[in-house]
Amino acid sequence: MNNYGNNVQFQVYSSGRKSDLPVSFEEMEQLAHEQLDESSFYYIAGGAGKERSMKENRLAFDQWKIVPRMLRNVSERDISVKLFGKTYQSPILFAPIGVQTIAHPNGELESAEAAAALKIPYIASTAASFSLEKIADVLDDSPKWFQLYWSNDMDITASMVKRAEKCGYEAIVVTLDTPMMGWREKDIENAYLPFLLGQGIANYLEDPVFCSRLNVSPKEDIESAILLWTRLFGNPALTWDDLAFLRKQTNLPILLKGILHKEDAKLAYESGMDGIIVSNHGGRQVDGTISSLDALEMISKELKGKIPILFDSGIRRGADVYKALALGANSVLIGRPFMYGLALGGKDGVMQVMKNIIADFDLTMALSGQKSISELNASLLIKESNLS
Ligand SMILES: Cc1cc2nc3c(=O)[nH]c(=O)nc-3n(C[C@H](O)[C@H](O)[C@H](O)COP(=O)(O)O)c2cc1C
Ligand SMILES: O=C(O)C(=O)c1ccccc1
């Protein structure tokens, strides 16, 4: 049973307090634009190139229409999901997002507090502004996964995985689509890369292997540490064969993030991976890709029921969660929406965003005649092009 009761929207209204933040994603984005400095805002909001993939992500959602069913007793609904043997209260997780201090001075510490308060799984990024140990401390016993950027220095990669395992992270999410940053025009215009200012490299600065590669400690010479980071961060030489190396490092479930091609989804399964995350990185990597939702539709036909399929890129509201699950996702990741909550209201802002999406999703389930996530399937949707 979910925690949000039946008349979800009544609970929201009846807090008796006018909301400090807008409820609409678009208004939040607008306010964040007004509040953050230009470079930080565009780093978060922007996409690669002409931002075609970013826009496609949204257009794809709009092409699918929900066809609600009636008279199906939806007074009690179960929106919990089971992933890798653990039950979570809703099919919603925090996407891994690095350098959160560009949105709020306490960055990840604030969003992780929100995650812990709501017991929503939190995926800490390799590129976080704080070390994975500090974030784990804040998360305490709340569900936590670690997102790995696979360094071209294998010992650093192994060390990060070991550190994550040691402080209680329960899964490793390997991001495959970013061995180098995409062509982000606004960031280039603004000459803005937070890492070059030493942001988002805390996990390296606190890594014993990384530090052993330096002649002097980062405290004495941060410039050399940043330079080394730029050389070690990405690993464009990786191939499917390298996954065996990662498997040897850990017994935790491993998920591959950034899968768009159905053949890659198949390879992930055949390589013994535990799950995949269908994602085009919020349209931040390759301009002009397939939308993440269209990729999901194709991939789930291939993989559904074999290993968990997670999804991100474009989720803004409850109806989007519903559509992604109906098209085969087991759970979804929230990205930019929580970053705007963080920018505008810190922990409380993040909590408000996540609670609203969950409540809106639960309500969409009820009003569409569905009481359990296992009931969701593509027959509950129709694509615009098939409407006559
Ligand atoms: C500012 C920012 C930083 C990100 N950093 C990471 C990261 O460190 N690791 C990662 O795997 N994905 C990262 N992502 C991608 C997200 O995990 C997710 O795929 C994306 O935000 C989903 O798109 P959406 O925000 O449009 O829903 C980042 C996204 C943003 C907006
Ligand atoms: O900005 C991003 O999308 C991203 O994934 C990233 C990559 C390297 C460091 C921090 C974030």
Q: With contact defined as beta carbons under 8 Å apart, do 350 and 338 qualify?
A: yes
Ligand-binding site membership of 213 (annotated): no
Ligand-binding site membership of 149 (annotated): yes
Ligand-binding site membership of 17 (annotated): no
Closest to 62 in 3D by CA, of 293, 229, 336: 293
Distance in angstroms between the alpha carbons of the first and the last residue of the chain = 38
Instruction: Provide, rounded to the nearest whole percent, the portion of the chain with pLDDT above 70.
Output: 96
What are the DSSP calls for 233-293, one per residue? S--TT--GGGHHHHHHH--S-EEEEEE-SHHHHHHHHHTT-SEEEE--GGGTSSTTPPPHH
Residue 335 falls within a domain, yes or no?
yes
Per-residue model confidence as pLDDT tens digits over 309-355:
999 999 999 999 999 999 999 999 999 999 999 999 999 999 999 99
Report the complex ipTM.
0.99
Domain count, the chain: 1
Domain hosting residue 100, numbered range? 8-378
Residue 385 falls within a domain, yes or no?
no
Residue 169 falls within a domain, yes or no?
yes
Residue 317 falls within a domain, yes or no?
yes
Per-residue model confidence as pLDDT tens digits over 189-231:
999 999 989 999 999 999 999 999 999 999 999 999 999 999 9
| Averaged pLDDT score across all residues of the chain | 96
Residue 291: what pLDDT? 99
Residue 170 falls within a domain, yes or no?
yes
Q: With contact defined as beta carbons under 8 Å apart, do 187 and 195 qualify?
A: no
Nearest Cα residue to atom 28 of ligand 1: 97
Q: How far is the CA of 17 from the centre of ligand 2 (A)?
A: 36
Q: Residue 240 above 80 pLDDT? A: yes
284 lines ligand 2 (CB under 6 A): yes
Dmax over Cα atoms in the chain, in whole Å?
A: 70
178 lines ligand 2 (CB under 6 A): yes
45 lines ligand 2 (CB under 6 A): no
Residue 6: what pLDDT? 63
200 lines ligand 2 (CB under 6 A): yes
Query: Nearest ligand to the C-alpha of residue 101?
Result: 1
Torsion angles phi and psi, residue 254, rounded to 5: -115, 130
Q: What is the CATH number of the domain that holds 370?
A: 3.20.20.70
Residue 108 falls within a domain, yes or no?
yes
What's the predicted TM-score (pTM) here?
0.97
Q: How far is the CA of 319 from the centre of ligand 2 (A)?
A: 27
How many other C-beta atoms lie within 10 A of the C-beta of residue 184? 21
Q: Residue 4 above 80 pLDDT? A: no
Residue 388 falls within a domain, yes or no?
no
Looking up tokens 């936590």, which residue turns up? Answer: 144
Q: Taking the C-alpha atoms of 9, 15, 21 and 27 in order, what is their torsion angle to the nearest 10 degrees?
A: 20
Using most ligand atoms within 8 A of CB, pick from 58, 174, 284, 353 the residue to mutate for ligand 1: 284
- 249 versus 196: the higher-pLDDT residue is 249
Residue 383 falls within a domain, yes or no?
no
Q: Residue 5 above 70 pLDDT? A: no
pLDDT tier at 1, thresholds 50, 70, 90: very low
Residue 294: what pLDDT? 98
Distance CA 2, CA 78 (A): 6
Q: Residue 88 above 80 pLDDT? A: yes
Ligand-binding site membership of 374 (annotated): no
